[in-house]
Amino acid sequence: MTESFGKDFKRFFLRGLAVFLPTMITLAIIIYVFRFVDKYVGQHLNTALRWAVVQFYCLSNKTPREWIGPDAVWQRVKDQWDEYHLGWLGFVLAVFLVYLVGRLVASLVGRGIWRMIEQGFLRVPILRQIYPYVKQVTDFLLSERKLELSRVVAVEYPRKGVWSLGLVTGPAMKTVGNSLRSDMLTVFIPSSPTPVTGYTITVRRDEVIDLPLSIDQALRFTVSGGVIMPAGQELSPAEVEQARQGAFGVSDRKEIDA
């Protein structure tokens, strides 16, 4: 009874975890990004807003203006800021500022300015060792050009006789196709259990087998290590048993030959 309860608890707990974990991780990432933007941009913009309010107050009340402003006025503005919960203004301005930077970089002049800034980064001894790699990651995650996966194939990789699941990303490089005088494909081989990493190979078109699978089915198969079989690809119990007996038969024959 206790053993049965323990198995049921483990099974259903893992099911519940599988349901909640993706949502919890997604929310955690969103919250982290919001806090990051608020901490490193929003709070500084809040300070700038309070400074502008202090300067406007001093100007409207003909108080002698100072660069920082009187401490009493600062404290009054800070109290009102906290009383009316105006801290969100900095976060909203931070999001708007990121949007404006994106619009600026999208223009021809903005791209030129940002290219000059990047060249300045690459001249700094420490930054030039870090910045290019961080930029590659962010460009991959946030680029408007998405990785286009046309279809799922099976390809012999990493050696003959071993078949791997691959995702066709497009034709091969022109130089490769012209040198081999053959129709070539570029195939991405995702790794388990993290399909965002893997290997990119170039193969002949006639050396791949097209599979009737969607990209999502292929990724689920890869993430699960082959446990989650795509619909329509499952073996019947008799076929599974036959495959096992065939494998055992091969093993037994090897032992006999030895």
Tell me which of 47, 76, 106 is where a domain ends: 106
Answer yes or no: is 218 within a domain: yes
Task: Give the mean pLDDT of the chain.
Answer: 81
Answer yes or no: is 172 within a domain: yes
Cα–Cα distance, 234 to 226 (Å, whole number) = 11
pLDDT one-digit tens code per residue, 213-251: 988 899 889 988 888 888 888 777 777 677 666 654 544
How many folded domains does the chain comprise? 2
Verify that 178 and 102 share a domain, yes or no.
no
**CATH number of residue 157's parent domain:** 2.30.30
Residue 78 structural domain: 2-106
Q: What is the pLDDT of residue 253?
A: 43
Cα–Cα distance, 186 to 200 (Å, whole number) = 7
pTM of the model: 0.51
For the CA atoms of 157, 162, 164, 169, what is the dihedral angle to 10 degrees? 30
Residue that is written with structure tokens 């049921």 in the block = 8
Answer yes or no: is 204 within a domain: yes
Residue that is written with structure tokens 């022109």 in the block = 174
Q: What is the pLDDT of residue 110?
A: 86
CB neighbour class for 65 (10 Å; exposed up to 12, middle 13-18, buried from 19): exposed
pLDDT one-digit tens code per residue, 54-87: 778 777 777 665 566 566 777 778 888 878 888 8
3-state DSSP assignment of residue 84:
coil
Verify that 82 and 23 share a domain, yes or no.
yes
pLDDT one-digit tens code per residue, 162-214: 999 999 988 889 898 888 888 899 999 999 888 878 899 999 999 999 999 98
The strands making up 184-190's β-sheet, listed across from edge to edge, are 198-204, 184-190, 163-171, 151-156, 208-210
